[in-house]
Structure formats: structure tokens, C-alpha cells
Chain A
Amino acid sequence: MDLLWLWILLAVLVVLIFLVVSMYNRLVRLRNEVKNAWAQIDVQLKRRYDLIPNLIETVKGYMKHERETLEAVTKARAAAQSMTNAGAESRAKAEGELSSALTRLLAVSEAYPDLKANQNFLALQEELTSTENKISFSRQFYNDSVLRYNNKTQVFPSNIIASMFGFKYGEYFEVKVATEREAPKVSFS
């Protein structure tokens, strides 16, 4: 009789260990996914920093009357670049401002037919549009990953494992700048 109880106890223990290990592994996998998604955003943001000087150089000659717009982009780029080691929230803010400055620049460029005939500019425009897309798609994927990870760390029973091994919540990368949400207003007067 005692032996039977011992066996049952052992079986329960094995099942428990198996559950804990699989939950732990799942949490680790999700956390890695979040980290990887964050790295993806980073790659695209760096790509954008690299593209901007090129763009300004190409555009400068054509847009003599848009000094302010150009300067805003340069300034926003410098500000964003200095935030690379800051947390997700403050970084998102700086990058959001850079995005809106760039959108304004691209919108203004519509008014310059010479510029729009420039092959170099067209190639840059495609690259920049795509990079903007990649940034927002990688942010989308990052936020989805964070949601999945946070759900796992908060729901029962995996929340027990999460608190036991110190899994922290992920931080969303949200755009808090109002200007990025609305379309830029441009007047061609």
C-alpha cells in the first residue's frame, strides 16, 4: 500500500515538474521573441538615420524655401539618435517626432515637380517610405509579441512561474505624438 502511494506521489511530481519546465520554456521563448522584435525595430530605425543625410543632401538644392522643414528633420534625427539607449517610452516619443518631421518633408516635396523628376530622389523616396513601413510593421509585431508575453506572465498558472523566476512585463512601443496620428496639413500657397 505504501509503495502504491509512493508511486502516485512520484507520478504527480513528474507531471508537475514537466508542467513547470514547459511553462518556463514557453515564457523564455516569448521573452526572446520580444527581444528579437525589439532588435528588428532597432535595425529599421538605424536604417532611417542612415537615409536622412542622403535625403537632405538631394533635396536641399531644390527646396530653398523649406529651410525650416529641413532643419526640423535634421534636429529630430539628432534628438532620436541621442535617445537610442533610453527606454521604450521616451524613445518612441523621439522617433515619433522624427516620423512626423519626415512625413511633412515628403508632403512638401510634392510641390516641387523638378524634385519629383529626380531619379535619385525617387529611389530615396521609395526607400524612405518602405523604411517607415518597416518601422511601423516591426513595431506592430513587437507590440503583438509583448502582448503575448505579458498575457503569459499574468494569467494563471504561468504567472506563478513568472514571478518565481522574475519575468518582468514587457513595455509597449507606442507612438504618443499626436501629430503622427493625423495626416499632415500642407498648404501650397
Chain B
Amino acid sequence: MWEQIRSNQMRSVVLVIAMGLVLLGLGYALGFYFFDTGIGGIAVALAVWLIMNLVTFFQGDNILLALHKARKIGPDDHPRLYNVVEEMKIASGLEKMPGVYIIDDQAMNAFAIGRNKDKAAVAVTAGLLAKLNRDELQGVIAHEMAHIKNRDVLLMTVCSVMLGTIVILSWYASRMMIFGGAGGRRGSGGGVGAQAIILIIALLLVILAPIFAQLIYFAVSRKREYLADASGAAYTRYPEGLASALEKISGSTEPLKSANQATAPMYIMNPFRKKSKPASNLTSTHPPVSERVRILRSMGGATFADYNAAYSKVHRGGGSVIPPSAMGAVPEGGTRTAQSKPKKPPRVEDTSSEIKRARETSDALWKLNNYKTINCKCGARLKTPPDFKGNRVKCPHCGNTNILP
């Protein structure tokens, strides 16, 4: 139905296959090292992978919700959130309303789960709800809805299971190599030289495989983040909402409790980010926020083509994130205007509070000198000297007579 999803899935599938090849290569090398046949190693690797898959399948996505003690809400519990989710469900053309969850945590974050579109859910922290306005919330939900619509959760689950298998295999293999002396179990495989070469190759693979796999995993994750940002902008037709939400979220430093590394790609923003993180690197699950914001802000319209143009502008003419076949997927380019009213310009608030502070200081000074202050009905403030006789004073502004306390 959506061309860009299909062709993006192609790219992601290539990466998944690459990861699978790493897994098979690792299995082959280990098999050769331990059992003298590569096939045996591959069989073991596949068996471990299958078991991991079964475990994840039966654990289900709900583990993430349970981990955060997320609370399911209905339309009456939090009308705004529920409505915004429903709006984005409509905009994305999703058939079924996803579950809506709130996490009681002051950190600002959100994630989507659901390996198939019928059992999807979005979860939002209380901190996020409190600090974002309607447009920003809409941007965040649109981003999450895009993850559901693009089937990113399924992809990331498949990837993370494979990554887990590779990590586990190489961990055990390295222990066995160091302590088990398993090489001795090998039959007469050839000369000493050949044995040494196999040993080195196997050792290298054991060390490098998890690193490779992790890099691939992060690459997939970053690609999907860009795509979700682009789709989010297309759903809301208002890239600024997501941009300013991302800024606010990255500005808050409160860590999300009970997030863990493997699930990090599911969140709208990496829950483990540090404030002084370098702009971009290979080992992050999300593209740098400043860059995501800059791309969103330099979009001319709301289509994928606009996002792509903005992306290459930010990267100074380098590369593209949206495949060419997807370009026509979102017609009718224009963005819309903000719905939430912009807040008052902060300068006005600043000056008024400054005047207030100055007045309080001068009042305190008057009080120190035993002057009495009376507030007249007309708003004027009368000050009487300490040697003032009588208990009535006439206001010079309105002529009203005030009684001294």
C-alpha cells in the first residue's frame, strides 16, 4: 500500500540478512574450531537463535509495558492524549486503534510496541504529558504511529534477537576457548600452521561478530528514526510540532527509570543519552537530536521529498534517507499552522516580574523605617510616616478615606 515502506523494508531486510550472515559465519567458525565441521556450528547457532526467538515470542511485547508499570487509559481518563492518538491513527490510516498507556515517570519519553498492527500500543510518560503542548504531543504520537505503521517494532525485535544470539554465542565461545582448551578435542585437522590460522580466524570472529552485529543494529535503528520523523511530519503536516517536542525532551535530563539497552531503539529518544554526547557516532541508536530538529525545521513542506531535501541540506548535499520510489507517497505538500496558542513572549513576563521584585524591595525598605503601607481601593499604595497622627488618611488619587490599621 505504501511504497516507501516496502522499499525501506527492502533496505532493512538487506541489513537483517547481513546480520544473519554474521551469525552464520560465527557459527561456522565455531563449528570448525570445536567440532571440526562448520555445519555443526551453524546448527548450534541456529538452534540458539530459534530458542531466543521462541522466548521473545512468548514473552511478547507486554514485557516493556510491564517493566514500566504502564497504565492503560480510555477516552475519559485523559481525553487529550486519547484524542491525539486517535487523530494520528486516522492520519496514518491505521485500521485499529492502538492501546494507549501512561507511565508514571517524570522523565520525558515515549515508545510504541506491537509486532503486528492489530496489537499495537503507544506509551507516554507523565512528564511528557505535562510539559508538551497539543501540537508537540501530536508530533510525538505521529512519530510513534509511524513506527507502528512502518512495522519497525517487528524489525527491531528480529534484529535484537539476532544480536542477542551473536553476543551469547561469542561470549560462551570465548570462555571455552580460554579456559576449556577445546582445541584439543579436534581430530587431526592438519598441520600446526593450519590449526593456528583457524584458531586466529575463529578468535577474530568471536571478538568482531558482536561488534559488527551491534553496528548493523544501530544503523537499522537510526534509519528507522529518520523515516519515522519523516512520516510523522507527513501525518501532522506540521514538522515544527515534533521539532520543538524533541528539543524539549532533549532539554530535560531526568532519566527514565527501568529502561534497558536492548529496548533503547523503541523510544522516541535514547533513554541513555548523556548531555555531553558528541554529535553523531556509530554506536548510537538514534540520530543526534540537534540534527533531527534541524532537518525538521528546514523542511519546505511536509512530504517525504521535502524531508529528503532538508536532510541533504543539513548534511551539505550528502546522501538521502528516503528511497526515490517513496517520493510520490505523500501528496499535497503544504504544512499547516500551529493549533496551540503560542505562549506569551517571555520578555514581557520577565519585565513584569522585575517590576514586582523592585516594588517588594522598596516596600521592605519603607517598612524598615517604620512607615506603614495601606492599599487603597483604587490600587494606589499609601505610605504613612511613623510620626503620623490620627488614624484616617485620605487617598490623593481617588479621595477615598482609608482607616489606618
Q: Report if A143-B331 is in contact (Cβ < 8 Å); known contacts: A126-B80, A130-B83, A130-B84.
A: yes
Tell me which residues across on chain A come within 8 A of B331, comparing CB atoms.
143-144, 147
B363 is an interface residue with CB less than 8 A from chain A: no
* Residues of chain B from 234 to 292 with CB closer than 8 A to chain A in the complex: 235, 237
A137 is an interface residue with CB less than 8 A from chain B: yes
Contact check, B339 vs A129: say whether CB atoms are below 8 A apart.
yes
Contact check, B86 vs A144: say whether CB atoms are below 8 A apart.
no
Contact of A127 among B79, B237, B339 (CB under 8 A): B79
B91 is an interface residue with CB less than 8 A from chain A: yes
Q: Report if A137-B90 is in contact (Cβ < 8 Å); known contacts: A143-B331, A143-B332, A147-B331.
A: yes
Contact check, A126 vs B79: say whether CB atoms are below 8 A apart.
yes
Nearest opposing residue in chain B for A130, CB measure: B83
Tell me which residues across on chain B come within 8 A of A141, comparing CB atoms.
90-93
Q: Report if A133-B93 is in contact (Cβ < 8 Å); known contacts: A126-B80, A127-B79, A144-B331.
A: no
A93 is an interface residue with CB less than 8 A from chain B: no
**Range, interface on chain B:** 20 to 34
**Range, interface on chain A:** 20 to 34
Contact of A37 among B87, B93, B235 (CB under 8 A): B93
Nearest opposing residue in chain A for B336, CB measure: A136
Report the minimum CB–CB distance from B37 to chain A (whole Å). Answer: 42
- The dominant DSSP class at the B interface is helix
A58 is an interface residue with CB less than 8 A from chain B: no
Contact check, B79 vs A123: say whether CB atoms are below 8 A apart.
yes
Tell me which residues across on chain A come within 8 A of B79, comparing CB atoms.
123, 126-127, 130
Contact check, A137 vs B83: say whether CB atoms are below 8 A apart.
no
Which B residues are closer than 8 A to A by beta carbons?
A: 1, 79-80, 83-84, 86-88, 90-93, 134, 235, 237, 328, 330-332, 337, 339
Tell me which residues across on chain A come within 8 A of B83, comparing CB atoms.
126-127, 130, 133-134
Tell me which residues across on chain B come within 8 A of A126, comparing CB atoms.
79-80, 83
Contact check, B84 vs A144: say whether CB atoms are below 8 A apart.
no
> How far is B90's CA from A138's CA once the two chains are assembled, in angstroms?
6
Report the minimum CB–CB distance from B250 to chain A (whole Å). Answer: 26
Nearest opposing residue in chain A for B331, CB measure: A147
Tell me which residues across on chain A come within 8 A of B88, comparing CB atoms.
137
Contact check, A130 vs B91: say whether CB atoms are below 8 A apart.
no
Contact check, B330 vs A137: say whether CB atoms are below 8 A apart.
no
> How far is B75's CA from A129's CA once the two chains are assembled, in angstroms?
15
Q: What 5 A-B pairs have minimum CB-CB distances, sorted nearest first?
A: A130-B83, A137-B91, A137-B90, A147-B331, A133-B87
Contact check, A140 vs B86: say whether CB atoms are below 8 A apart.
no
Tell me which residues across on chain A come within 8 A of B90, comparing CB atoms.
40, 44, 134, 137-138, 141
